[in-house]
Amino acid sequence: MGNRVVVTGLGIVSPLGLDVPSTWQGLVSGRSGVDYITLFDPEPFETRFAAEVKNFDPSRYLEHKEARRSDRFVQFAVAASLEAVKQAGLKIDASNAEGIGVIIGAGFGGLNILLSQFQILMEKGPARVSPFLTPMMIADMAAGQVAILLGAKGPNFCITSSCASGSDAIGVSFETISRGDAQAMIAGGTEAQIIPLTIAAFNAARAISTRNHEPQKASRPFDAERDGFVLGEGAAILILESLPFAIKRGAPILAEVVGYGATGDAYHITQPAEGAEGGVRAMRIALKKEGLEPREIDYINAHGTSTPLNDKHETIALKTVFGDDAYRIPVSSTKSMLGHLLGAAGAIEAAICVLTIQHGIIPPTINLTHPDPECDLDYVPNVARQAKVDVALTNSFGFGGHNSTLIFRRYTET
């Protein structure tokens, strides 16, 4: 039995707000963060909308020079980390720095800066390429910059497992603390991929919605009229600590991490395995970590991407794992409001599970107006619901067949 691991701080930058309170208020009010793209001219594209982070000023979090030398995905991670550390009251100094690490997942990294510098290379030659291209581009730089800024000298790296990156970063951080290799971890995910190439690529793959006439209704998980996911951006960070470390320093304990399961489909680069067996195994592994029974789960934050295949297969997986309880447990997809944050999705959905336990409110699945007969569970349609949630589970499934499940429980001393 390893160390108990608790959550002591949360930080969020999302399409619904630049911090935890504004994001949470948007979620419980059922507000969509999706709108027409403003980061570039979307007119030539088949999809002209996304879930952008609005009014984000990196100079609020970084010195001007550092902000200019950082990609947007790094800036988001820094902002969310600072908020999370502040809530946790975590002071990093010479006495504890070596026991505090940073793992932040990202699916892509600084793709936008790579493309802009490639264009400079083609048009102006190699002498004009920025010397900061590499540190601005590589996906591990979010974890690196946060560690440098805060002085955290423990385990430090990036996990890239597509849409499961943020969940896996939290899960690996949980296991790192549990086995005694760190006292605390700054863990989560970040992504900023609302750029022309990404929209074009997802359009080519027929993966994202093209509901241009009503973008706020485009992300509609489990609805019969869903036609693809909506691209989002943002970051979420959780401060995880060993229980003794948190108690010793009088940290606020928001929830306990009690399960993590990770599996691979070994099946297809984009489609879930038949019967969603990879997701089934991930959930069962996570439940087994603490000896939880399926009936003990009070809420499930679904991967729920609003794609035809994912929503159907996730429903199958939930029925396989939870049996008759699958019809009792409230399931919601907050991607209906936030869009799909790719490598940050699992992290923000983990934070939402913690907030649900704290506040006793389950965010809804909005835009669920034409229920799919093959998706027949309780998806908390359109309106948030008050409910006592002691144990919450969240799923993340990524391109490449990556499956990740996290479980959080209300903290009790015993």
DSSP conformation class of 54: P
For residue 303, indicate whether it is catalytic: yes
CA-closest candidate to residue 280, choices 34, 267, 269: 267
**What are the residues whose beta carbons fall under 8 Å from the beta carbon of 392, sequence distance 6 or more?**
297, 298, 299, 300, 301, 353, 354, 356, 357, 407, 408, 409
For residue 91, give both structure tokens.
Answer: 């002071």
Strand ranges inside 278-355, DSSP E: 299-301, 331-332
**Whether 362 contacts 333, CB under 8 Å:** no
**Is 359 among the catalytic positions?**
no
d(Cα 146, Cα 79) in Å, to the nearest integer? 9
How far, CA to CA in Å, does 122 sit from each of 9, 110, 132, 201, 412?
Answer: 45, 19, 17, 21, 59
Helix or strand or coil: residue 302?
Answer: coil
Q: Is 268 a residue of the active site?
A: no
- Catalytic residue, from 158, 163, 353, 375: name it: 163
Q: Which of 64, 158, 268, 303 is catalytic?
A: 303
Options 158, 313, 340, 402, the catalytic residue: 340
Q: 378: which 2 tokens?
A: 């309780």
Of 360, 341, 345, 365, the residue nearest 406 (C-alpha): 345
Residues with catalytic function: 163, 303, 340
